[in-house]
Amino acid sequence: MEFIETRKADFQAGVQCDPSGSAQQRPKSTSLSRYAVIKPKARIGANVLIAQRAYIEDAFLGKGSNAQENCFIINSRLQGNNITAHGAKIINARLEEKVFVGFNSFVRGLADAPLRIGKASIIMPHTIIDLEEPLSIPPAHLVWGHISRANDLKNHSLSIMTLAKSSGRLSIGDMEFQGSGSRFAAAFQSRIEHILEANGAYFDGRRNKGHAQKAQSIAYNIMQPYPMGVQKGIYPTIDIQP
């Protein structure tokens, strides 16, 4: 919470509808919400989608990556086609291509030894990786739970290939999986592809447009209650007429 609190003030320009709040150079195929915070050292690739209330600082987002609502990406490098789901936080990390970081996950490496996550790995929702020593997660692995040391991976990670071969019941540490591992893995990977396609990660200049290309001219008005006076705390009424 302290980590988030220290950065709240950066969002005030957006809340106050200051159109310069998230001004930033970007490729024509990329969409940056005016209600996101993009710090000057950030580098944004083509076909990237950055949603409202995302916070990008000293980070690189490769082609086709996306940062969904309330994401924080700081001192990190995302190679491309990465998905950072709603509320996820990535700090001091290096992600290879097509890594999925789930909802409300907190992923933090060491400042002098960034966390490394291999290609096509999946960090499950609500996972906490808060490192006390250097760590690399192999490619194509499923990761969950609370991890601070390399030894924690024994009970909190699994090769997606191993999962796909599982049927019936599988137990690792406190995790229990029951059912078809192949169907679960295929469905999750299909969902990742759907998100990338819908967001326009595969736009080639003519085909495969998605949100990153179609939503650039859309502005969202974030309504705020009256800050003072007899109507303090009450939201204003909007009457939209044809």
CATH of domain 2-214: 2.160.10.10
pLDDT tens, 229-242? 898 888 787 777 76
Per the listing, tokens 């990190």 go with 76
| C-beta separation of 136 from 118 below 8 A | yes
Give this prediction's pTM. 0.86
> Domain map of the chain by residue range?
2-214
Q: What is the mean pLDDT of residues 24-47?
A: 89
How much of the chain, in percent, has pLDDT values that exceed 90? 74
Residues 6+ apart with CB under 8 A from 61: 42, 43, 44, 45, 48, 50, 67, 73, 78, 82
- pLDDT tens digits, residue range 200-219? 999 999 999 999 999 887 66
**pLDDT tier, 13 (very low <50, low <70, confident <90, very high otherwise):** low
Quick one: pLDDT at residue 24?
56
Question: Torsion angle of alpha carbons 41, 45, 48, 54, nearest 10°?
Answer: -10
Q: Which three-class secondary structure state does DSSP give residue 138?
A: coil
